């Protein structure tokens, strides 16, 4: 191999390895257990049995290492989960990981701040509705986040980040 070709090969090899490594990260979705849905690096599962918000949080934590009630932090997350819920016509409300237990400071179950704006605030008493559910939109497609009574048993959605 000539000096020129050797230099070319040694300078392009790290680039090929770098591109190949990141292509694999992009091509392969999250590795989720059976009955869990993959979206990016997140895995989601729907639990139809009704539990209070705190019971649902504990139940999710027992399902898999690092799992918790679903933190739907972006409009895309809400849309993805909503699109899968539409096939379950009878699910009107489901618990998410959002709560407002420190009044006026909604936080996700992982402790991060709430930044979405598509939340419907109801006429329910604010000091009694510290937990947030996904509610089926009665007049349009999809679901939206709404505050609800934490002690009412509802189905729920669990999530964890795939490694």
Separation in Å, CA 119 to CA 22, 42, 46, 78, 90: 36, 22, 21, 11, 21
Confidence (pLDDT) at 128? 62
Residue 139 scores a pLDDT above 90: no
Q: Is residue 157 part of a domain?
A: yes
Q: Is residue 12 part of a domain?
A: no
Residue 127 scores a pLDDT above 70: no
Q: Is residue 141 part of a domain?
A: yes
CB neighbours (10 Å) of residue 92? 14
Q: Is residue 23 part of a domain?
A: no
3-state secondary structure of 59: helix
Q: Is residue 54 part of a domain?
A: yes
CA–CA gap between residue 60 and residue 67 (Å, rounded): 6
Q: Is residue 84 part of a domain?
A: yes
Domain CATH for 72: 3.10.100.10
Instruction: Give residue 43's Cα distance to chain centre.
Output: 7
Confidence (pLDDT) at 51? 98
Confidence (pLDDT) at 13? 36
**62: CB partners within 8 A, 6+ apart:** none
Q: Is residue 81 part of a domain?
A: yes
Q: Whole-prediction pTM value?
A: 0.73
For strands 42-51 and 143-148, give the pairing.
unpaired
Report the domain count for the chain: 1
Residue 86 scores a pLDDT above 60: yes
3-state secondary structure of 4: helix
CA–CA gap between residue 160 and residue 70 (Å, rounded): 8
Query: pLDDT (tens digit, 9 = 90+) per residue, 32-60?
Result: 888 888 888 889 999 999 999 999 999 99
User: Structural domain of residue 48, as residue ranges?
Assistant: 33-161
Query: pLDDT (tens digit, 9 = 90+) per residue, 10-28?
Result: 444 333 333 333 433 344 5
Residue 146's nearest CA partner among 74, 98, 102 is 98
């Amino acid at each position: 191999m000539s000096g020129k070709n050797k230099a070319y090969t040694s300078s392009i090899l790290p680039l090929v390895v770098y591109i190949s490594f990141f292509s694999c990260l992009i091509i392969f979705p999250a590795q989720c257990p059976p009955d869990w849905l993959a979206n990016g690096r997140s895995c989601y599962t729907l639990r139809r049995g009704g539990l209070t918000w705190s019971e649902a949080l504990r139940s999710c934590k027992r399902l898999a290492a690092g799992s918790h009630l679903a933190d739907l932090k972006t409009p895309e997350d809400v849309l993805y989960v909503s699109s899968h819920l539409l096939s379950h016509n009878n699910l009107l409300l489901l618990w998410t990981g959002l709560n407002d237990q420190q009044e006026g400071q909604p936080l996700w179950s992982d402790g991060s701040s709430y930044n979405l704006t598509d939340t419907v605030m109801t006429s329910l008493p604010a000091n009694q509705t510290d937990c947030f559910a996904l509610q089926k939109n009665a007049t349009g497609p999809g679901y939206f986040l709404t505050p609800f009574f934490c002690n009412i048993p509802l189905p729920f959605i669990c999530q964890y980040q795939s490694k």
